[in-house]
Amino acid sequence: MAAVYALVMLGGTLPIPLYVFWAPQMGFGPFTTTLVFGVYALGTVFALMVFASLSDQVGRRPLLAAAVLAAAASTVLFLVAHDVGTLLVARFLCGLSTGVFTATATAALGELAGAEHTRRASTVAAVANMGGLGLGTVLAGLFAQYGADPTHLVFWVYLAGLAPSLLAVLVTPETVSSRQRPVLSVRRPAIPDQRSARAEFLRAATAVLAAFAVSGLFSSLVPSFLREQLHVHNVAAVGAQVGLLFLVALTAQVAAPQRWTSGRWPAPAFLIAGVVVFETGLLIRSLPTFAAGTLLAGAGIGLAFRRGIGITQRLADPRRRADLLSTYFLSVYTGTVVPTLALGLLDQAINQDVATLILAVAVVAATLACALMRPTRALT
């Protein structure tokens, strides 16, 4: 399950280094690049609001199998894409697949591991998520730079990998024992009923929202920043730089001591330091400074994400586990899409450096505000 989870997440970041090829072929600029990424995130949000919690009713396997098929359909569209419209549909389907998988596979991993291994399950889920995201940009960059066909070969290889993934999902034990008739509706975000639990969950969700605003910046516009402002033209290097953010986030989740992954301040400290340093690197056109900021920001994202997954798994009602996880991942992708689209709009009206500086200030302010919130005591 963890391997398929990582593969589906990998597909979500495969297109990121390839916009440099699609843009001249299809005639679009930075705003359309942001829009295409935004459609991916909107597809993810739509899936989380409509489909992801269905697995609590009909079981994990049917939703996971459907998500793998959606990933395959998206991949086929990338292979035949010759215009922006096809690219938008492909990214939306990719987002649907990612949204269903993040909540459903995370819930399934927790149930497969058992209640006595909640921490292990949270770590595995976080590793699969971040590891897949990081490897996607690295592999796409390598295929684009050194392969025979920059925008097709990587998708053919990925499509071949999805076939055994579907089989793996179908033979995985079902973890939902009590099935219900599915009711499809736009769900309201689920939150814990108890006041102290609700406050704890909302703090974690807000922290990860701010963290993934940084992730959205990297995934949508940083490739063009690297090429145009820092003069990095090697596609493999661009993919590695973006992937570095996610891979450092993965390393932080696995290697950081428990007091860092469970504490309130380590994640905000790393994230704020990273944003300040990489923004400085962009302003002074320094690749080493930008790379140092990427390392710090990646650690902050990883710690915030890992801590939030653990809190959500602990607070979730076992009968509605995917429901609360869907709300958590809704915060993740809201943090990704809203600031990124805003940055794309600002980039059309003002200087690019000023636009990224506005986003950086907003992320720092939101992160500080969340960290300074006092825990709410449970009512007696």
Q: How far apart are CA 70 and CA 232, in angstroms?
A: 34
pLDDT of 125? 87
pLDDT at site 121 = 85
Q: Which of 1, 22, 10 is nearest to 224 (CA)?
A: 22
Q: Is it the case that residue 8 has pLDDT exceeding 80?
A: yes
* Average pLDDT value for residue range 117-133: 85
- The radius of gyration of the chain's CA atoms, rounded to the nearest angstrom, is 20
Kindly report which listed range (26-30, 43-47, 85-89, 269-273) carries the lowest average pLDDT score.
Answer: 26-30
d(CA 139, CA 10): 9
37 has a pLDDT exceeding 60: yes
Q: Say which CATH topology domain 2-173+194-372 has.
A: Growth Hormone; Chain: A; (1.20.1250)
pLDDT surpasses 80 at 265: yes
Query: Under a CB-based contact definition with an 8 Å cutoff, are residues 214 and 275 in contact?
Result: yes
The model carries a pTM of: 0.81
- The confidence score (pLDDT) of residue 375 equals 60
pLDDT of residue 14: 93
Task: Look at 16 and 90; give whichever has higher pLDDT.
Answer: 90
Asked if pLDDT for residue 289 goes beyond 60, the answer is: yes
pLDDT per residue as tens digits for the range 337-375: 777 777 777 766 677 777 778 888 888 888 888 877 766
Give the model's pLDDT for residue 177: 77
Could you read off the pLDDT of 142-162 as tens digits, one per residue? Answer: 999 999 899 999 999 999 999
Stronger pLDDT, 48 or 298, i.e. the higher one: 298
Q: Looking at the predicted structure, is the pLDDT value of residue 295 above 60?
A: yes
pLDDT above 60 for 262: yes
The domain ranges of the chain are: 2-173+194-372
Residue 380 has pLDDT above 50, yes or no: no
* Residue 378: predicted pLDDT: 46
Sign of CA dihedral 149, 15, 291, 295: negative
What's the whole-number average pLDDT of the chain?
86
pLDDT of residue 220 exceeding 90, the answer is: no
pLDDT at 297: 92
